[in-house]
Structure 1
Amino acid sequence: MTNLTLPDIATQQQQHATPLDWVGMCGIAVPTVIEGRHVSAKFDVGVSLVDGSSRGIHMSRLYLSLQSLEHQPLTPTTIRQLLSDFMRSHEGLSSAAYVRISFEHLLKRAALVSPLTGWKSYAITVDARLENGMFHVELFVRVPYSSTCPCSAALARQLVQQQFTADFNGQQINHDDVLAWLGSSEGIVATPHSQRSHAEIHVRLNSSVQVLPLTELIDQVEISLGTAVQTAVKRADEQAFALANGQNLMFCEDAARRLHQTLRHLEWACAFKLRVEHAESLHAHDAVASSQWQW
């Protein structure tokens, strides 16, 4: 069989030279090592096409470069190496390289009181860019939590007070009477409304960071809010969760301010933006607040 040179259509000269900001592929499945465990990740990868006379890039070169991440931890260093490989394989064609990595980060969480544990999944996105020698990495995480409305709590307390007055008006009462009333459904006539909520956190890492602080970021967010949703629970845990909600009454504005202060104290973060959304149980719409720093 005669050896033939296979045609490379992508290298053909374009009649109309137009540079492109981003050319690449989305949704590439790659097993990736995150904090010592393999996870199934999806990669969006690409480069700029500054040589407008070239018809296209070498997508297969980007794809093959991803194999280097199969058996080594995903860190800022390995991500930068990946983007450098993208640039080397497109020398003369591109001035910037990009990667977005999306996966579910599983963490085993202990119950509030009992010895039970369970797994929680957090949606993570890692964005990185290398352009003109400048490299930066950004983390995005979505953290669910519970929020109890302060206004609803105050209104419920008022109704309980009114019911107490109606039930005991003019009577001589003792400690046992009050205790029994507080434990009855007739006494606690109203309760505050709460809702499942979530925080979306987007953090840019300092250039000196050597690891992706995924678990630390999630932990700091949940500690700041105080009402992380639970996994396996017993009644004692459910009671402790009710106590946590009662001690952390939050409008969406309160949650956003808490998170802003927490993120400002992260030494490895040089910029951030956040958004909280409370999926209202009172209204058919949701309550939202956002904030950012040095973005």
Structure 2
Amino acid sequence: MNAITLPDIAAQTTSPTLPLDWVGMCGVALPLILEGRCITAHADAGVSLDDAGARGIHMSRLYLALEALEREELTTGALRRVLARFLDSHLGLSTRASIRLQGKALLKRPALVSPLAGWKAYPFEVSARKDRWGFHVELHLELAYSSTCPCSAALARQLIQQRFSEDFANRPLELEQVLTWLGGSQGIVATPHSQRSSAQLWVRLGAGEDIPLRRLADLAEQALGTAVQTAVKRADEQAFALANGQNLMFCEDAARRLSDALQGQDWLTGFRLRVVHAESLHAHDAVAEYRWNYSAE
């Protein structure tokens, strides 16, 4: 029996119409190996369609090229090879290729004081493209932290001072009485407001091979000082309260801390950052942004 030749409609030529900037697939489920662990991710993969006479691209060739990412650690080299395969399989049709990988990386984080530890999820995105300007890779990472308002802390301290003056104005001070007062509800008449906050970092990577997700997360959390916790005991919660009290910050402070930390790194060529403090005082958020050597493209 003769083999039946199946029609390839995408390969059919048409009268010249319009080249397209990007054609591909979005949301392709894909396992990745990152930081030595297999994680579930989704990929957007595509190429330009420069031949105005071509009806379409070969989607299946892009899909099959993605399989290479299942078998090795995610590196810039692996991304470069996949993009090269995208273009090799579309010779004469495409001159630009791109891929975007989205997922959540799980990093194990120790408690502040106790021997406990727990897993924390970090949403991330790795974007790579190959075009006539070369090969480019960017890492986007989102992380959560706690921020305590410096203004509310000062106002709370003032109220505590006033109450202390009222309660001890005409009394001799005795250490035990003061300690009892400080440990009671009348001593802490006001507390500063804190809020869960988030930082988003877009980092353009240099010539290195690795995808420095853990390095970036560690760097950012060290700069901020009050990363949200996982498993805790009371001693850890107390240490967290102490860290917040000694680490007051507006969103502007957080943005500047992150900028200072990132600008000292030789493995990146530019970055953009955005911090959001979801205020407990207001019904709106406080936001700060900054970019360094990062122009919109």
Is TM-score (shorter-chain normalized) higher than 0.5? yes
- The number of equivalent residue pairs is 294
Deviations along 1:63-100, one digit per CA (max 9) or x if unpaired, are: 01111111111100000000000010001100110000
Shift of 1:247: 1.0
CA–CA separation in structure 2 for the residues paired with 1:253 and 1:129: 32
Instruction: Identify the residue that residue 223 of structure 1 maps to in structure 2.
Output: 222
- Deviating more after overlay: 176-185 vs 114-123: 176-185
Say if 2:275 is the partner of 1:276.
yes
1:241 aligns with 2:244: no
Which residue of structure 2 aligns with residue 164 of structure 1? 164
Alpha-carbon deviation of 1:210?
1.2
Structure 1 residue 3 displacement after superposition: 2.9
Q: C-alpha distance in 2, partners of 1:231/1:267?
A: 31
Equivalent residue for 2:212?
213
Which whole-Å CA distance do the structure 2 matches of 1:66 and 1:131 have between them?
18
Tell me the distance in 1 between the aligned counterparts of 2:282 and 2:124. Answer: 29
- Equivalent position SS for 1:219: helix
Alignment of 1:202 onto 2:202: yes
Deviation (angstroms), 1:2: 4.0
The CA deviation at 1:188 is: 0.8
Which residue is 1:146 aligned to? 146
For 1:12 and 1:148, locate their aligned partners in 2 and report how far apart those are by CA, in whole Å.
62
Once residues 114 and 23 of structure 1 are traced to their aligned partners in structure 2, the CA distance between those partners, rounded to angstroms, is 52
* Mapping 1:21-100, distance limit 5 Å: 21-100=21-100
Unaligned runs of 5+ in 1: none
SS class of match (1:52): coil
The answer for the alignment partner of 2:253 in structure 1 is: 254
Amino acid at match of 1:209: G
SS for the counterpart of 1:163 is helix
C-alpha root-mean-square deviation of aligned residues, in Å? 0.9
2:190 aligned partner, one-letter code: A
SS at match of 1:13: coil
Instruction: Using the TM superposition, give the Cα deviation of residue 43 of structure 1 relative to its aligned residue in structure 2, in angstroms.
Output: 0.6
SS of structure 2 residue aligned to 1:231: coil
Instruction: Return the offset for 1:267.
Output: 1.1
Write the distance in 1 (CA, Å) between the matches of 2:229 and 2:28.
32
Identity %: 60
Residue of structure 2 equivalent to 1:175: 175
Letter in 1 for 2:84: S
Q: Summarize the alignment of residues 113-128 of structure 1 with structure 2, pairs less than 5 Å apart.
A: 113-128=113-128
**Alpha-carbon distance in structure 2 between the residues aligned to 1:285 and 1:48:** 41
What corresponds to 2:288 in structure 1?
289
Measured in 2, the distance between the counterparts of 1:149 and 1:37 equals 37
CA shift digits 1:104-151 (9 cap, x unpaired): 100011000000010000001000000126001100000100000000
* Equivalent residue, structure 2, for 1:265: 264
Residue ranges of structure 2 left out of the alignment (5+ in a row): none
Give the secondary-structure state (helix, strand or coil) at the position aligned to 2:72. Answer: coil
Distance of 1:137 and 1:3 partners within structure 2:
44
Name the amino acid aligned to 1:99. I
Q: CA deviation at 1:44?
A: 0.5
TM-score of the two chains, using structure 2 as the length reference: 0.97
**Whole-Å separation in 1 of the counterparts to 2:172 and 2:3:** 106
Shift of 1:36: 1.1
- Aligned counterparts of 1:193 and 1:14: Cα–Cα separation in 2: 64
Whole-angstrom CA distance in 2 between matches of 1:145 and 1:89: 44
TM-score, normalising length: structure 1: 0.98
Moved more, 175-184 or 107-116: 175-184
Q: Does 1:7 align with 2:46?
A: no
Q: Which whole-Å CA distance do the structure 1 matches of 2:16 and 2:131 have between them?
A: 25
Q: Secondary structure at the match of 2:248?
A: coil
Q: Whole-Å Cα distance in 2 between the matches of residues 3 and 113 of structure 1? A: 70
User: How far does residue 4 in structure 1 lie from its aligned partner after superposition?
Assistant: 2.9
- In the TM superposition, what is the alpha-carbon distance from 1:280 to its structure 2 partner? 0.6
Structure 1 stretch displaced more, 170-179 or 2-11: 2-11
| Secondary structure in structure 1 of the residue aligned to 2:60 | helix
In the TM superposition, residue 15 of structure 1 has moved relative to its aligned partner by 2.9
